[in-house]
Amino acid sequence: MQQYSIFPNTEAHTEPGSIDTLATSLSSYIDPPQIQLVKRAYYYAEQAHDGQRRRSGQPYVTHPLAVAGILADMHMDHQSLMAALLHDVIEDTGISKASLGEQFGDTVADLVDGVSKLTRIESESRAEAQAENFQKMALAMARDIRVILVKLADRLHNMRTLGVLKPEKRRRIARETLEMYAPIAQRLGMHNIRVELEDLGFTTLYPMRAKRIHNAVKAARGNRREIVEQIKESIELGLERDGHPCAVVGREKHLYSIYQKMQNKKKSFSEIMDIYAFRIVVDSVDSCYRVLGCIHSLYKPVPGQFKDYIAIPKSNGYQSLHTILFGMHGVPIEIQIRTPEMEEMANYGIAAHWLYKTNDGQPLNGSHTRARQWVQGLLEMQERAGNSLEFIENVKIDLFPDEVYVFSPKGEIMELPHGSTPVDFAYAVHTDVGNSCVACRINRRLAPLSEPLQSGQTIEIIASKGAQPNPSWLNFVTTGKARSNIRHYLKNQRQTEAIVLGQRLLGKALAGLDVDLDGISEKQKESLVNNTGHHSFDHILEEIGQGNRLPLLTAHQLLARDSNRDDSNNAEGSSHPPLMIDGTEGFRVNFARCCYPIPGDPIVGFISAERGMVIHTDNCHNSLEFKNNPERSVPLRWAEEVEGEFSIELGIALEKSRGIIAVLANRINSLDANIEKISIEDEDPRMSMVNVIVGVHSRLHLARIMRRIRSIKDVIKVTRVKH
Ligand code: MN
């Protein structure tokens, strides 16, 4: 049953109380020296807030005192209570965190500072769209989960005393409560606080609807009383007969959950109220299952409705057995069965942990559940690590793995994957911001663009017109958006540069043929585009610029098409005259290392992306393969006069004898041929296989060389090697 009432008014909660009342109630679970600390915090706050009043007219300190009271009801530890008493001191009285630290220790100062920070975010990021992020943000930011608990208590007291505010402000705070704080409370399993926040928020935001539902519940309660009592008695009797005497408590849904069910599930009020719900609290986990068995023998369970949240707790730590029964006359009966510890957990969630710890100083006996271990783990980690970045890491990992929440300078919250950098942030803001970012400030201090972001930081991107993405960013960006945008930009960039280069190369090649690039007609370009299967002339230029296409070849193709312009039957590729190779092509032309073509050999050229044009002999086995790809193959012919040297490989079999290699080298040199490389393989004790790569001028030159080698006495065989 709910412990509070929101109708007819909330005055009951606004009574000031005093520090002495609080101290008395603390004595049930906190040691005297620590109560003294709490008192000191109170007097400090009283003095700091001296002269300040709440809108209700009461001294300001009544508010922190009430917040501490809420936490005391949850049996929170003395540090949380001190932080609650001091929670508005930094923000409202200008006292520094450092002086709080001196007075009350760093832990309390950190807690107060954390609450102040949350208060600041809350006022900066009011946009509704940010609500969900705020929840995550708030949880992720709080180094110490008690910061959230103090903040929730603060908000709860503000909600209880909303009445004195202007309607406008009241509504805003109520909406924020429903959107941000109630879900946080739910996430942390703090059922009691969540329910109260929701009903207060709902009543403030929709007073008429709340009133209607409230009245309907009241009326229904009257009608239901008899049935509720009947069911309750029959269950209690049955349990007693089986040796499990225990109290069965009726449950009612709270207003906001009824409202939400009507809204979201489109159920009528009577449909929702048509369910009778009870809770049974028993002493041990073992009893939970026994009682369940007993109840299932009393009433028939509805198939598929049994849920074992003891074995598999909900992610917020909630544990219980749930079942639904067919009651008398077919009314559904909802039953929850749990232990007192589970009940605490269900009501106070994460806060229940401090309750367990301070009850008798011993960890809880009984069931070791995932949820309990989670909470336990959090606390242990917190105790171990002291301030505890680790602690919050654990909370974050559990609640929201792999996300960080950062601010823009305007206070907008941005959600990014864990490990994101300022560059990821910049691209998340806008592609243009990403493309032009040059530096950044993290919390107003200059920082490298590669620095991983932490939750809660404010990121300011410094952009510059004309700046470009740096390829090295790809080494550290995390988001797909940043990565793909950087790649896209760089690709475009390379494309533009390649086109400019291609234009220059083609211009030069045409100049060598006494043609000006500007003199090439659109029609010539178009016909080349059509005949080569490129999608534009720019694309052809790009291919030239990237070295995939020869400028000279392209120049010839352009002009050849020009001379054949009137011959419409003669449309296709290979019809233009072969390109002449005269040995002056330099690096643009490569001679294949498989067949080593030399002047006089029939040759053919192939365009390769890596090496530009590669020339093979016409009968090379690689040529056969390339010939299937006419777009990449170029008919070639040696010029009448060819300059330079051409490598060729000779295989020489010879009998081993002293000095034979020297003789061989001498012979070759004497014919004005350079040996580029020589390698020897011993075939057997008598024979060697010598491979020589020689530079020659022509086939004729080669023939003379081979003849001279054969004339050496120990040489058995000389062949031109082709791979
Ligand atoms: Mn406050």
State how beta strands 437-442 and 459-463 pair. Answer: antiparallel
Distance 134 CA to ligand 1 centre (A): 18
Query: What is the Å distance from ligand 1's center to 344 Cα?
Result: 26
Question: In this predicted structure, what is the pLDDT of residue 481?
Answer: 83
pLDDT of residue 142: 60
Q: Annotated catalytic sites, by residue?
A: 91-92
| Element at 687 (helix H, strand E) | strand 687-696
> What is the reported pTM?
0.54
Dihedral sign of CA atoms 189, 193, 198, 199 in order: positive
Q: Are 174 and 226 in contact, with CB atoms under 8 Å apart?
A: no
What is the 208 CA–ligand 1 centroid distance (Å)? 28
Give the domain ranges of the chain: 19-189, 209-351, 489-638, 646-720
Q: What is the pLDDT of residue 87?
A: 94
Is residue 431 within 8 A of residue 482, CB to CB? The reply is no
- The continuous run of DSSP H or E covering 638 comes out as strand 633-638
Q: Under CATH, to which class is 646-720 assigned?
A: alpha beta
Closest to 549 measured CA to CA, from 564, 539, 561, 563 = 539
pLDDT at 372: 47
Q: What is the pLDDT of residues 629-679, one digit of tens each?
A: 666 677 788 888 888 888 899 999 988 888 888 888 888 888 888 888 888
Q: Which residues surround ligand 1, an ion (CB under 5 A)?
A: 88, 154
Ligand 1 centroid–CA 115 distance in Å is: 9
Write down the pLDDT at residue 609.
61
Tens of pLDDT, residues 90-122 = 988 889 999 999 999 998 998 998 888 777 766
Tens digits of per-residue pLDDT, 485-516?
888 888 887 788 778 888 888 888 888 788 88
Please list, in sequence order, all residues whose beta carbon lies within 8 angstroms of the beta carbon of residue 700, skipping any fewer than 6 positions away.
600
- DSSP assignment letter at 329: G
Structure tokens at 520: 């090439």
* Pairing outcome for strands 674-682 and 687-696: antiparallel
Query: pLDDT category, 326, cuts 50, 70, 90?
Result: confident
- Domain covering 19-189, topology: Hypothetical protein af1432 (1.10.3210)
3 state SS for 154-196: HHHHHHHCHHHCCHHHHHHHHHHHHHHHHHHHHHCCCHHHHHH
Q: Which of 122-126, 217-221, 716-720 has the lowest mean pLDDT?
A: 122-126
Residue linked to tokens 């943000």? 137
CA of residue 151 to ligand 1 center, whole Å? 8
Cα 181 to averaged position of ligand 1 atoms, centre (Å): 14
* pLDDT at res. 465: 83
Q: Which CATH code, of 3.30.460.10, 3.40.30.10, 3.40.720.10, 3.40.50.720, is assigned to 209-351?
A: 3.30.460.10
Q: Are both 209-351 and 646-720 of the same fold?
A: no
Question: Separation of 143 CA from ligand 1 center, angstroms?
Answer: 19
